[in-house]
Chains A and B, each alone.
Chain A
Amino acid sequence: MALIYLDHLSGTPLHPRVKEAMIHCIQNVFGNPVSDHQVGQRAAALLERAREQVAALINADPGEIVFESCGTESVNHAIKGVALGLREKGRRIITSNIEHKSVLNSLRTLRLLDYQVTSLDVDASGLVDPAQVEKAITPDTILVSIMLANNEIGTIEPIADIATICKKHKVLFHTDAVDAVGVIPVDVKELGVDLLSLAANQFYGPPGVGALYIKKGTPVWPLLDGGAQENKRRAGTENLYGIVGLGVAAEVAKEEIPQRLPRIRRLRDRLRDGLVARIPEIIINGHPTQCLPHLLSVSIKYIEGESLMLMLDEEGIEVATRSACASGSLRASHVLIATGMDFATAQGTLLFSLGRDTTEAEIDRVLEVMPPIVQTLREMSPLYKKAQ
């Protein structure tokens, strides 16, 4: 049975061109880009080529791109780096209640070091209100960190509006764009952000490599201390093979996004409308229009997501119950709770994320297989009985 993979948020397969470039690099290149001899300089040239490719994807200058070991490291670097860089200026950081764990847990650590965190509520669709950001800014605020697109419900935040406010109050602004870059067009100049995190495994690049955009002149202290790699922004020998993969993935994304987008959105809508038509009492999470095109989060009343996910897996359909980074947790999604959903309903959540290889036939197979499984689980549920 061919597997139907609808969990691209937890990791995408390598694009054939990415795979080819990485294999070529592994077979032909070694050495350390910091070495001044020919072997080292060949590696350095590939590193810089990748930097240009990533910069081009988000309309940055190559000198503003720092390679990191993953999206999480990029986020940690941005938040802790600004906290350290501006520690004399202030100690307050503003964020939202629906951020990725890399943001929330970076802030958890900073709280131990006497930084203060203001975490903003979101509305029922997961939107942060820019006016609330402005209200929360105090004289000792040094950073605002709001995600570009939410990784559990797909809602796209008003980043450009928040950036304008931050600029007005001279507060730095980081956006965790891990789930958006390479999926939808992202332009750091249009957005007006100071820092932006991205990761290769969201757009057909390899896992274990990410990048942080640091606008020229932004005071960010290094997260990893050591040598002079990455223009002294991030010490440690670069993951050259991974970075080459990230570079090609960025180049391919820039080329393919215009074609990928409408196709994937149409398939996602087909899945959404099909599930709504076939399964009663199903809730579509996130913003109806301002949302990622490849993500669909549904909450199915009276049943629990993991049992549904396991039963779909038995049918060869691979989905998530929530963000992969949070899947060790048994608690209902903090994102859904923040949007005002009750715990029981939030537990019945499934997260579909489509990819460039997803086909209409695969979507139709899900629409055929899933409703009877939902019914079986509902028949088993004490909540279902009570609701009737």
Chain B
Amino acid sequence: MAYSEIVMDHFKNPRNVGEIPDADGIGEVGNPVCGDMMNVYIKVKDNVIEDVKFKTFGCGAAIAVSSMITTLAKGKTLEEAMKITNRDVAEALGGLPKNKLHCSNLGADALHAAIKNYLDRKAGKIPDLAKDREEHIKGAGEGGCYCPYCHKETLEEAPFCLFCGAEIPHEHDH
């Protein structure tokens, strides 16, 4: 496992660390079981993300992803920001190690959660951060024993997918 230079730069000098006390939207994703938690705070003016900050508990990749998503999102309209994908973030970072793509690459999810939170608030709904976070965790862990690469069912004991050879991610790695 080695990180790209861009990842190391964003890890060592993370942009936009912190909280926005009077944020218009807050997104919280991830869970400490996976080893990564990401909070994104946005300030919105005239449908544009005027300011964005993050707080992250996680590995080098998770911190770099958080830093990158804030730089990508700043100044974008909400519609543009909703179009940023986790893949875009990984690409902007010059790639991420394969075993980090799933768990640590939560940046776009966190940003979208913050935007959804902002829109909910605007619509007068009471946002339920705990429930949103719960849904994210459920969505990420669904499925049980299938290979995420070739989608064939696989033995729980198998150290790697016996069909396509891909490494089976950490849910099975113990």
Contacts and interface: CB of A to CB of B under 8 A. Distances in A.
Whether A and B are associated in the same complex: the answer reads yes
Interface of A: 104-105, 108-109, 111-112, 302-304, 306-307, 310-311, 314, 328-332, 334, 342-344, 347, 379-383, 385
Contacts of B28: 382
Contacts of B84: none
Nearest to B1: A328
Given A304-B62, A330-B103, A343-B33, A382 B56 contact: yes
A311 B3 CA distance: 13
Nearest to B14: A380
Nearest to B102: A330
Contacts of A112: 155, 157
29 contacts: A109-B157, A111-B157, A112-B155, A112-B157, A302-B57, A304-B35, A304-B59, A306-B60, A307-B58, A307-B60, A307-B62, A310-B3, A310-B11, A310-B60, A328-B173, A330-B59, A330-B99, A330-B100, A330-B173, A331-B35, A343-B33, A343-B35, A347-B32, A381-B55, A382-B39, A382-B55, A382-B56, A382-B57, A385-B19
Contacts of A306: 35, 59-60
Contacts of A385: 19, 55
B37 interface: yes
Given A304-B35, A328-B167, A382-B37, 15 more contacts: A108-B157, A112-B157, A304-B58, A304-B59, A310-B8, A310-B11, A330-B173, A331-B35, A331-B170, A331-B174, A343-B33, A381-B56, A382-B28, A383-B37, A385-B19
A330 B102 CA distance: 11
B145 interface: no
B63 interface: yes
Contact of A328 (B37, B58, B99): B99
B90 to A, nearest CB: 16
Nearest to B66: A380
Contacts of A381: 55-57
Nearest to B37: A382
B72 to A, nearest CB: 19
B122 interface: no
Nearest to A310: B60
B66 to A, nearest CB: 9
A105 B159 contact: yes
Contacts of B34: 330
A108 B173 CA distance: 12
B173 A307 contact: no
Given A343-B32, A347-B32, A331 B19 contact: no
B36 interface: yes
B17 A380 contact: yes
Q: Tell me if A's interface is mostly helix, strand, loop or mixed.
A: helix
Sort chain B's interface into a size bin. Answer: 35 or more
B173 A331 contact: yes
B32 A383 contact: yes
Given A344-B32, A347-B32, A307 B103 contact: no
Contact of A307 (B37, B63, B100): B63
Nearest to B34: A330
B99 A307 contact: no
Contacts of B170: 329-331
Which 3 residue pairs spanning A and B have beta carbons closest together? A344-B32, A306-B59, A382-B55
B12 interface: yes
B174 A334 contact: yes
Nearest to A306: B59
B153 to A, nearest CB: 16
Interface in B1-27: 1, 3, 8, 11-12, 14, 17, 19
Contact of B59 (A307, A331, A383): A307
Contacts of B35: 304, 306, 330-332, 343, 347
A112 B60 CA distance: 37
Contact of B57 (A104, A109, A334, A344): A344
Nearest to B35: A347
A329 B174 contact: yes
Residue picked from A303, A306, A343, most chain B C-beta under 10 Å: A306
Interface string B152-174: 00010101000000010110011
A50 to B, nearest CB: 32
A104 B62 CA distance: 29
B20 to A, nearest CB: 13
B139 to A, nearest CB: 18
A380 B59 CA distance: 12
Contacts of A303: 57
Contacts of B169: 330
Q: Which of B56, B57, B59, B100 has the most CB of A within 10 A?
A: B57
